[in-house]
Structure 1
Amino acid sequence: MRKSFDDLTIADDYMFYRVMENTDICKTLLNIVLHDKTDTITDVQLQKTVADAGNAKGVRFDVWAKDCNGTIYDVEMQAINKDDLARRIRYYQSAIDVSVLEKNQPYESLPDSFIIFFCTFDYIGKDLPVYSFKTICTEDSTIHLADGITKIIINSTAAEKEASPALKSFLQYMNGKISDDGFIRKIEQRIKEVKESEELRKEYMLINSFERDARNDGWKSGWQDGMQAGMQAGMQAGMQAGIAQGKSEGIAQGFADGSRQTKLETAKLMKQANCELDFIIQISGLSKTEIEKL
């Protein structure tokens, strides 16, 4: 169950990207992590969706930022360890590349990119506050492949080991400790503004309602499909075993099918209500093409 709107903190993804939409806060945090190497941020997009790749799995980025040199920054907040972060980062990088390289452009046009995950757990398990990864040669670690990719996983549980006072304060803040640091006070003020916004409160409730309906519709559809599949399987290999198998497989498939149907219905209603296209994409997770066809 999701938190109530008033209980959200910087470690919750919704609040995180609502805070990061403030360009100054976003740039400051990036410079804290990257040691003042970030150029002027020219664009910040929230919940940017990349979903126009045929049948491929779509991606929704928490915070997508671009600087004046074209460098792209994907910044994510992760509070739950699903043990898939390494391959998830790999897929996110591929989605970034596909979304920015247009047809007939040379590969040299690919911009440098940073994928940064702020985690409330130690995914790597080595008790470091920051894990930075670049592509290096296995035979000679002094040789770097100039692919322009940097992946950073940040672990707030090791906050006390961080040497940078600014980053240490932010990691402690992720853990619930508020300090007198100027940057933290600025974030606190932004969080206060978000929580005082009735529009954002309603948006958060709508997102929760949408996700809950998607789960419920998927469960109901899956249960019905599972019963049918189970009966068919049971005719051949034992009714009891077949029903158990059918329920399991059907519920999984039904969740996916029901979730998509709910997305389509929600997007259609939002479109009829003249909601902005970007907002419909953010809430439903559908692509621009799918929404325009409704």
Structure 2
Amino acid sequence: MVNEHNLPFRMREYQELMDQEILNIGDDYDKLADYPTYVIFFCNFDYYQRGLARYQFEFREKWHPEITAGDLRTMVVFNTKAQDYEHATEIRPFLDMICGTVDTKDKFIAAVDAEVQDIRADKQREARFMKEQIERRRELRKSREAGQIQERNKNTLGLIKALEKRGMTAPEIVAMIADTQSISQAEAQKYYDQLVVAS
């Protein structure tokens, strides 16, 4: 409802959260080919200030925009303040509803509006919905962080094994871990011990 002047970065975050939810640790990236993703925003303001009801973005080559990256990501921004509905005529009644004009003859719009009114009337339900959304984002972030730690551990263990094959001693390897990870010698030793025992 409010233009916080950061819409592209919010879209980027939601895209990343979706990809993190799809991919598990160790999954092949090809798995994403089965999951085209869409980030869709309905805005009560015209972020891109071109008067379009629908802005649709895909990852394209800079100098040859006819070449798409083929990563199956689509980001769509609907604008309720539009003048040009050329690519959004089918959704205009929904955008009008967001602005407060409800077409009661349209059964879908009437049903959506009734649901919205029920949520607004039930403050506990609205609060529960918001809490669930916040908790979901928190869990996705935790999952992403856990995945990053696991990936780092896997890479460091690979480094340890490679250095051992080259004949480096444990203290030399610990010193290298401390240097590459920018941590103290004691932290590096603890990290080394944990990884070696786990493997």
- Tell me the TM-score normalised to structure 1 length: 0.41
For 1:142-153, what aligned pairs fall within 5 Å after superposition? 142-153=66-77
The structure-2 alpha-carbon separation of the partners of 1:120 and 1:280, relative to structure 1 and needing over 3 Å to count, comes to: closer
- Could you say which structure has the larger radius of gyration? 2
Match of residue 38, structure 2, among 100, 109, 114: 114
Matching of residue 104 in structure 1 with residue 26 in structure 2: yes
1: CA distance, partners of 2:77 / 2:5: 13
3-state DSSP of counterpart to 2:77: strand
Matching of residue 190 in structure 1 with residue 115 in structure 2: yes
C-alpha contact 1:132 1:153 (8 A) present in aligned 2 = yes
Match of 1:12 in 2: none
Matched AA of 1:107: Y
Matched AA of 2:85: E
% identical equivalent positions: 24
The structure-2 alpha-carbon separation of the partners of 1:136 and 1:130, relative to structure 1 and needing over 3 Å to count, comes to: same
- Tell me the TM-score normalised to structure 2 length: 0.59
Match of residue 162, structure 1, among 64, 85, 90: 85
Matched residue pairs, number?
136
Higher strand share: 1
Match of 1:7 in 2: none
Higher helix share: 2
Match of residue 172, structure 1, among 96, 105, 110: 96
Matching of residue 90 in structure 1 with residue 12 in structure 2: yes
Match of 1:239 in 2: none
Match of residue 138, structure 1, among 54, 58, 62: 62
Match of 1:60 in 2: none
Moved over 3 A (4+): 163-166, 191-196, 283-288
C-alpha contact 2:97 2:113 (8 A) present in aligned 1 = no
Match of 1:233 in 2: none
Match of 2:152 in 1: none
2: CA distance, partners of 1:138 / 1:124: 19
The structure-2 alpha-carbon separation of the partners of 1:203 and 1:170, relative to structure 1 and needing over 3 Å to count, comes to: closer
Deviation at 1:195, TM superposition (A): 5.3
3-state DSSP of counterpart to 1:157: coil
Uncovered stretches (5+) of structure 1, i.e. residues with no partner: 1-78, 208-278
Deviation at 1:189, TM superposition (A): 2.9
1: CA distance, partners of 2:108 / 2:134: 33
1: CA distance, partners of 2:19 / 2:133: 24
Uncovered stretches (5+) of structure 2, i.e. residues with no partner: 143-199
2: CA distance, partners of 1:280 / 1:120: 19
Matching of residue 282 in structure 1 with residue 132 in structure 2: yes
Deviation at 1:118, TM superposition (A): 0.3
The structure-2 alpha-carbon separation of the partners of 1:99 and 1:148, relative to structure 1 and needing over 3 Å to count, comes to: same
For 1:193-208, what aligned pairs fall within 5 Å after superposition? 193-194=118-119, 200-204=122-126
